[in-house]
Amino acid sequence: MNSSVFDFLLTAVPGDADSADFAADWARHRARCAGFTDSVDRAAVAGFDSVALGPAFLGGYQEALHALVPALAPDELSSMCASEAGGARPSAMTTSVTDEGAVTGTKSFATLGAFATRFIVIARAGSRSDGKPRLRAVLVAAGPLATVTPLPPLPFAPEIPHATVTFADAPGAALPGDGYADYLKPFRTVEDLHVLAAVLGQLVRVGRQAQWPADALTALLALFAAVRGLGAEPAGSAGVHIALGGVFDRCAALLTELEPQWDRVPSEIRQRWERDVPLLGVAGKVRAARLATAWRTVAEEAVGAPEGHEDR
């Protein structure tokens, strides 16, 4: 294997992950990435080895979870279980965890839930002195006390499985730290970085196979380099969120610039991309709110914040 992920993306023969059996895809992916220590690099490889955007997303999502929770074994598949019927805000969560680690409650939208061997469950562990919920992140193994109910496929990226998961006094192991500040909140950024890396890897695959011009591949790799750099920074940094906002803006512009190149792509691949590309906008409102918060944080901490940042 080449020492550089950039060399790999430009020279390797791509795999064919299509999520029919994600556990098998994940095992092949881990073997393929044995020489890459950076999870963002591995996410890009997952995208490069995927035949469509849905499988690419799943590879990036799984690498993000492993980056967030190093306690997960490399061969484990996991699912973040946060959203409930009332949303994913701490105040909306009713799932609880006891001092002994037993989890009870229902999570309404668990990506990859049917494939997970362990769930990362965000649960209430009582209340703080101010009355707000105290949250913990708990690792719960798949089993009879964690009932998984598959949800209907979405109209885009239908290969991505989602499910509700109901925990009935399921035994778990609480992770150190605060469930919101140390896990749920940073995961939104960690997931963005890894999924975007996977999307760019998938586009390099498409571009190479369709013989896109060199400047198109150069632009994709340059954008991936920016994602890779941000992946090495603290996920809670306001500056990282602002820079990531710029990366997403540049990604949107690049996708527009690349539209003429899709005429070179076989119709089946192009149609799957057109069907699935709405996936990239799913968390747009959350990212916009996070970006606005980051600019407010910077404005409070620094003199001379740029004019008009509140509207970004």
CB contact at 8 A, 140 and 103: yes
Indicate whether 162 and 200 sit together in one domain.
Answer: no
pLDDT at 304: 55
Residue 201 has pLDDT above 70, yes or no: yes
Least confident of 51-60, 105-114, 280-289: 280-289
Distance CA 143, CA 165 (A): 11
Count the domains in the chain.
2
| Closest to 74 measured CA to CA, from 30, 115, 14 | 30
User: Is 28 part of any domain?
Assistant: yes
User: Is 73 part of any domain?
Assistant: no
- In 3-state terms the chain splits into helix, strand, coil percentages (rounded to 5) of 50, 20, 30
Indicate whether 46 and 148 sit together in one domain.
Answer: no
Domain boundary among the residues 114, 142, 174 is at: 174
CB contact at 8 A, 192 and 244: yes
User: Is 72 part of any domain?
Assistant: no
Q: What is the mean pLDDT of residues 47-55?
A: 96
Q: What is the mean pLDDT of residues 98-123?
A: 96
Domain boundary among the residues 118, 149, 174 is at: 174
Indicate whether 219 and 255 sit together in one domain.
Answer: yes
| Closest to 78 measured CA to CA, from 29, 31, 113 | 113
Indicate whether 289 and 249 sit together in one domain.
Answer: yes
Structure tokens at 28: 């092949």
Indicate whether 53 and 82 sit together in one domain.
Answer: no
Distance CA 84, CA 99 (A): 22
| Closest to 20 measured CA to CA, from 89, 102, 114 | 114
pLDDT tens digits along 260-309: 999 999 999 999 999 999 999 988 888 999 999 999 999 998 765 555 54
Mean pLDDT of all residues in the chain?
93
User: Is 225 part of any domain?
Assistant: yes
Name, in order, each residue with C-beta under 8 angstroms of 105's C-beta and a sequence gap of 6 or more. 84, 93, 94, 95, 96, 123, 166, 167
User: Is 90 part of any domain?
Assistant: yes
- Note the pTM of the prediction, 2 decimals: 0.93
User: Is 71 part of any domain?
Assistant: no
Dihedral over Cα of 199, 202, 206, 211: its sign = positive
For 124, the domain range is 78-174
Indicate whether 169 and 219 sit together in one domain.
Answer: no
Q: How far is CA 242 from the centre of its chain?
A: 18
User: Is 19 part of any domain?
Assistant: yes
